[in-house]
Amino acid sequence: MGRFLASRLTGAGIVLLLKSFVIFALIGLMPGDPIDLMMNANPETTPEQMALLRAMYGLDLPITSRYWTWLTAAMHGDFGYSRIQHRPVLDIIIPALGNTLILTGAAFVISTILAVTLGTIAALKRGSWIDRIINLFAFAGISVPSFWLGLLMIYLFAVRLGWLPAGGMPRPEQGMGGMLAHLVMPVMTLVIVETGGLARYARAAMIEVLGQDYIRTARAKGLTDRRMLVRHALRNALIPVLTLVALQLGGLFSGAALTEAMFAWRGMGRLILEAILGNDYNLALVCLLFVTGTILIANIFADIAYTWLDPRISLGKRRR
Amino acid sequence: MKLGPAHDRVEVIAGLDISLSAGRTLGVVGESGCGKSMTALAIMGLAPKPHAIGGELRFAGQDLRAMPDDARRQLRGAEMAMIFQEPMTALNPVVPVGVQIGEMLIVHEGASDADAARAAVALLERVGIADPARRARASPHELSGGMRQRVMIAMAIACKPRLLIADEPTTALDVSVQAQILDLLLELQRDTGMAMIFISHNLGVVSAVADDIMVMYAGRAVETGPAQLVLTAPAHPYTAGLIATLPDIGHRQKILPVIEGSPVNPRNRPPGCAFAPRCKLVIPDCRAAVPPMVALGPSQRAACIRVAA
């Protein structure tokens, strides 16, 4: 276990390092730099002043030495400033991350429980009308674009019925109720979009397990349906489902750009979008690296969770 | 017994007449697909749905066909238990074997988790597993094939059933382990007085355990009788053919005899005797009607018109 963690974390570190350079280089290749943008804001800037500014910010140096400067600072915990907001990037990322986790975390928990439940019911009642209805909803959820669904909900619940705020962040004085009211529509959008695929996957995994010999054994033992399902079927069916769930776990931190934009939710997805569009490249770089890191860690976590569920899998050692 | 939805039923088993008393073992023999396992599943109430079972099915005086599903479930495991051919896949790979054994007592006897765990260790010891306390915590993949089958047996006898159905319990095991498992089953039967239905395609294995033998072909019994009689004086040409295929230690044979041809598909069973297409003694009358079981002496019966004649 210790060796497994050490080797996987080292691997993750190397991936992060490589990715930081690739992102840095890609952003450097984008047409226009911050000085060009300054000139747009103030057309009277002379070419000499621009050259002076470039030298001042180090933008005239080759990209490798600029990267090296960034990396040295980052290694010392200094991730730099946002060009647009004139604040340290961490001060911007941390609140956005909190907002995102509230939104995506709630949607993740609800959609995972819902998907496993629906998938299990569909598998048990395979071919029945319940199965068909669950399938229909699953495909509808997979097919519907989140921006369209979001718009529809805003129109219905905010504009026509006036039950819920159309978007934005709750103010602190609105308390828990305000938070929930603002969360309902974006969470529902994410749940509807995410549940379908996972439910289909859970259904397939469950059907596979229900056909196994050990389920026949469980029936021959005279176990109650409930015990057979919970103790024998579900635990086996969850092993493949976990892969998908763990991959989504990494995605929690990157936020849901479309849904956050739609409901003016100040989360990571929206922050990344704005940072790239606004040429705020230090902010974009740190955000993207952070997202990569969380996905890598989620994958390591998935591998560890495997061993909890399936004793046949052991980490770091050869299979017996 | 017929399988499949009402509009497309296929008769898979017909005209079986089995009776088995406590402490006795019935060996059921036949080629793959002859209905041995389906018969076992029908008795257990585990036959694939949809299906229809005609006739009578009684267990300890109770009519199993009229019994509600939940009563049938309570009977399974407690009164009638079953062990399967492949202990690797028949055990749940992610549940420790001790838990899989112990839950029999939790479900059928309302035991507490702690009592069930203790009972599981005792049962593992009873089926001859060394270091049972440690093995109870093991997962199936950590045990050998023979040990896994011992676990299956421990599970099956946990509630002291009156009937144990063993469906090819030794087929997936090494020959030396096969003998140990057979000895264990016989020993348990002596101790508990349970009745046993022992299913195998291997006449040699059946002859080692069975008191009575039923030979099946294409979903019907073709010969029944005391094991000794059926093996030494087979009446049906199919039984004789099966016995001829047994390798005989002491006689070096280059080529083992085989029964030519392959079993019939239950969907297109010939009108007469199902074995007629493969039978060396076939006469035109064989293809006219399904031959009835006829008594040959006090206990042996066979379904062949050549024998009756």
What ipTM was reported for this prediction? 0.84
Residue-number span of the structural domain to which B238 is assigned: 232-309
Residue-number span of the structural domain to which A198 is assigned: 92-309
Q: How many domains does chain A have?
A: 2
Q: Are residues A126 and A32 in the same domain?
A: no
Q: Are residues A49 and A145 in the same domain?
A: no
In a domain, residue B271? The reply is: yes
The residue of chain B with its CA nearest to that of A212 is: B89
The pLDDT tens digits for B91-105 are 999 899 999 999 999
Q: Are residues A137 and A11 in the same domain?
A: no
The secondary structure of residue A45, as a DSSP letter, is: -
Q: Are residues A105 and A22 in the same domain?
A: no
In a domain, residue A319? The reply is: no
Confidence of residue A317 (pLDDT cuts 50, 70, 90): low
The secondary structure of residue B21, as a DSSP letter, is: -
Q: Are A224 and B107 within 8 A, CB to CB?
A: yes
In a domain, residue A42? The reply is: yes
The pLDDT tens digits for A7-53 are 888 988 999 889 888 988 888 777 767 777 777 777 777 878 878 88
Report for A253-257, B64-68, B149-153: range of highest mean pLDDT: B149-153
Q: Are residues A155 and A294 in the same domain?
A: yes
Q: Are residues A60 and A109 in the same domain?
A: no
Q: Are B74 and A312 within 8 A, CB to CB?
A: no
The residue of chain B with its CA nearest to that of A310 is: B94
In a domain, residue B208? The reply is: no
CA distance A223 to A217: 9
The pLDDT tens digits for B8-25 are 778 888 778 788 888 889
Choose the mutation target among A210, A221, A238 for the interface with B, i.e. most B CBs under 10 Å.
A221
In a domain, residue A256? The reply is: yes
Match 């089926």 to its residue by tokens: B127
pTM of the model: 0.79
| Contact present, A158 and A262 (Cβ < 8 Å) | no
Mean pLDDT across chain B, nearest whole number? 85
CA distance B306 to B239: 14
Q: Are residues A44 and A97 in the same domain?
A: no
From the list B81, B94, B103, the residue facing A223 with the nearest CB is B103
From the list B77, B89, B93, the residue facing A221 with the nearest CB is B77
Q: Is the pLDDT of residue B84 over 80?
A: yes
Q: Are residues A62 and A15 in the same domain?
A: yes
Q: Which residues are within 8 A (CB) of B131 and not within 5 positions of it... i.e. 6 or more apart?
A: none
Q: Are residues A67 and A192 in the same domain?
A: no
pLDDT of residue A312: 81
Task: Inform me whether the C-beta atom of residue B208 falls under 8 Å from chain A C-beta atoms.
Answer: no
The pLDDT tens digits for A87-106 are 888 888 888 888 888 888 89
Per CB-CB distance under 8 Å, the chain B contacts of A305 are: none
Phi, psi (rounded to 5 degrees) for B196: -135, 135
Match 């621009």 to its residue by tokens: A50
Neighbours of B129 (CB within 10 A): 21
Q: How many domains does chain B have?
A: 1
pLDDT of residue A127: 85
Closest CA to A285 of A89, A84, A69: A89
Q: Are residues A193 and A297 in the same domain?
A: yes
Cα distances (angstroms) measured from residue B82 to each of A163, B216, B262: 60, 20, 28
In a domain, residue B209? The reply is: no
Q: Which residues are within 8 A (CB) of B103 and not within 5 positions of it... i.e. 6 or more apart?
A: A221, A223, A227, A231, B116
Which domain-ending residue is among A47, A75, A103? A75
Task: Inform me whether the C-beta atom of residue B6 falls under 8 Å from chain A C-beta atoms.
Answer: no
Q: Are residues A64 and A206 in the same domain?
A: no
Per CB-CB distance under 8 Å, the chain A contacts of B95 are: 231-232, 235
CATH number, domain containing residue A176: 1.10.3720.10
Please state whether B15 falls in left (phi above 0), alpha (psi between -120 and 50) or beta. Answer: left
